[in-house]
Amino acid sequence: MAGRRALRSGSPVVPLLPRRAFLAGLTLATLTTGAASACGRSSPVGREAAGPGSLSVGAIPDQDPEVLQRLYGTVADSLSAALDLDVAYTPVTDYGAAVSLFRTGDLDLVWFGGLTGVQARLQTPGATTIAQRDVDADFHSVFVVQSATGLAASDDLRPLAGLRFTYGAETSTSGRLMPAWFLQQAGVDPQGFPGGPAFSGSHDATLQLVASGSYQAGVLNEQVWAARTAEGAVDPSVVAYARTPGYPDYHWLLGPRAADLAGPLRDFFTGLRADDPADAAVLDLFGAGSFVPARASDYDRIEQIGRELGLVT
């Protein structure tokens, strides 16, 4: 039909679609879209809960995402039962994203490392430090070396200066900031390894890269090192070299949107008891004996070191 019409009008090009079908399709599409927008469907990528009485929980991806999913699934259920809130866990892909999403208000309550927590707090007016684990006031990192280097465990960090070296994530407190600081204190340029230091992105990747020999030395979170050693997951060619002195690390930070929950949340975390089976499950997943209240000033030292190393601006 349309073909004949087109021929009559002398056009050499047949329209791709009959006009009526096109218009009908367009109307249908518009109507469906309109109807869909009207029913207020929640997006598969946006935040799930946004109303009052809801809390979105996040964490820096310092561990296996599946472990995190399980860990924060448990925390979310427990929080939701205790405070009568809709609690949803949102995984993020990197440390910087956790900070950005805390600033934009997509994440209300985030388990930050020392440095990322400082970054997030400085960028987000009204953020409150809630609690830390009993182990966080005195946290440690472990320098590891490839056994082929022939280095024996020592407290002297200077021999590391000549090795190909990898940190963990760029803004990891235990995998970057504090090790870099202790290296600097020992007289080693923290940016000066042969070819420059690498950033593996995670504690597990650091272990793999040192095991492969592409990097001869690296540094990671002591908790992860202990856990992987206990699992027998560490390649025998990776050996511990030195343990850093203690420093404050992880903590819970609450965003301004949910500021009125600061008190209840602090009570919830510090009230977790190891002798209660449900609480013990949460504490166990965090590798903690208990949570203790934390203040912003606990992280002043981290902030100062961050400024000195150019990681806090």
Partner 1 sequence: MTALLARPAAAVPRLRRDRRRWAWGLAALAAVCWSATGALDGVNPAGAAQFGAFAAAALSPALDGAFLGVLATAALVTVAYAVLGTALAVLLGALGAVAAARSTWGRRRLGRLATRGVLAVPRGLHEAVWGLLLVNVLGLDPWVGVLAIGLPYGAVTATVFGALLDEVPRGPYEALRAAGAGRLAAALYGLLPRAAGGLLSYACYRLECAVRSAVVLGLVGAGGLGYQLSLSFGSLRWPQVWSAVYALALLCLAADVAGRAVRRRLAAPRRRAGVLSRDRVLTAAVLGTLVAGAWSWWFLALSPASLVSARAREQAGFVLRAAWPPSADGDLLRSVAAAAVVTVQTSVLAVVLAAVGAVLVAGVAARPAGRCSPLRRLAGVLVRLGLLLLRAVPAPVWALVLLFVLLPGVLPGAVALGVYTLGVLGRLAAEAVEEADAGPRAALTALGAHPAGGWLYGVAPLVAGPVLAYALYRWEVTVRDTLLVGLLGAGGLGALLASELAAFDWPAVATVLTATVVLTLAVDLVGDRARRALR
Is 27 one of the binding residues for partner 1 (CB under 8 A)?
no
Is 311 one of the binding residues for partner 1 (CB under 8 A)?
yes
Q: Of the listed pieces 74-82, 101-109, 127-135, 243-251, which binds partner 1 according to CB under 8 A?
A: 101-109
Residue closer to partner 1 (CB basis): 58 or 248: 58
Residue from 9, 20, 44, 297 binding partner 1 (CB under 8 A): 44
Residue from 23, 33, 189, 280 binding partner 1 (CB under 8 A): 33
Residue closer to partner 1 (CB basis): 251 or 257: 257
Rounded CA gap, 224 and 78, in Å?
A: 25
Residues in the chain: 313
Residue from 52, 53, 65, 126 binding partner 1 (CB under 8 A): 65
Closest distance between partner 1 and the C-beta of residue 2, in Å?
7
147, 169, 176, 208, 298 from 199: Cα distances, Å: 21, 6, 9, 13, 27
Is 201 one of the binding residues for partner 1 (CB under 8 A)?
yes
Q: Of the listed pieces 88-96, 266-274, 278-286, 293-301, which binds partner 1 according to CB under 8 A?
A: 88-96
Residue from 82, 83, 105, 243 binding partner 1 (CB under 8 A): 105
Rounded CA gap, 247 and 300, in Å?
A: 11
CB neighbour list of residue 160: distance below 8 Å, 6 or more residues apart = 143, 145, 183, 188, 193, 217, 241
Residue located via tokens 């699934």: 73
Is 96 one of the binding residues for partner 1 (CB under 8 A)?
yes
Rounded CA gap, 26 and 28, in Å?
A: 5
Rounded CA gap, 154 and 199, in Å?
A: 24
Residue closer to partner 1 (CB basis): 77 or 170: 170
Binding mask 153-192 vs partner 1 (x if CB under 8 A, - otherwise)?
Answer: -----------x-x--xxx---------------------
Query: How big, in percent rounded to 5, are the helix, strand and coil portions of the chain?
Result: 45, 15, 35
Is 74 one of the binding residues for partner 1 (CB under 8 A)?
no
Q: What is the largest CA-CA distance in the chain?
A: 92
- Encoded tokens for 4: 């004949």
Residue closer to partner 1 (CB basis): 13 or 230: 13
Is 9 one of the binding residues for partner 1 (CB under 8 A)?
no
CA dihedral 154→157→161→164, nearest 10 degrees, is 60
Closest distance between partner 1 and the C-beta of residue 66, in Å?
7
Is 148 one of the binding residues for partner 1 (CB under 8 A)?
yes
End-to-end Cα separation, the chain, in angstroms: 69
Q: Of the listed pieces 42-50, 221-229, 260-268, 294-302, which binds partner 1 according to CB under 8 A?
A: 42-50
DSSP 186-231: TT--TT-STT--EE-SSHHHHHHHHHHTSSSEEEEEHHHHHHHHHH
Is 86 one of the binding residues for partner 1 (CB under 8 A)?
no
Closest distance between partner 1 and the C-beta of residue 243, in Å?
24
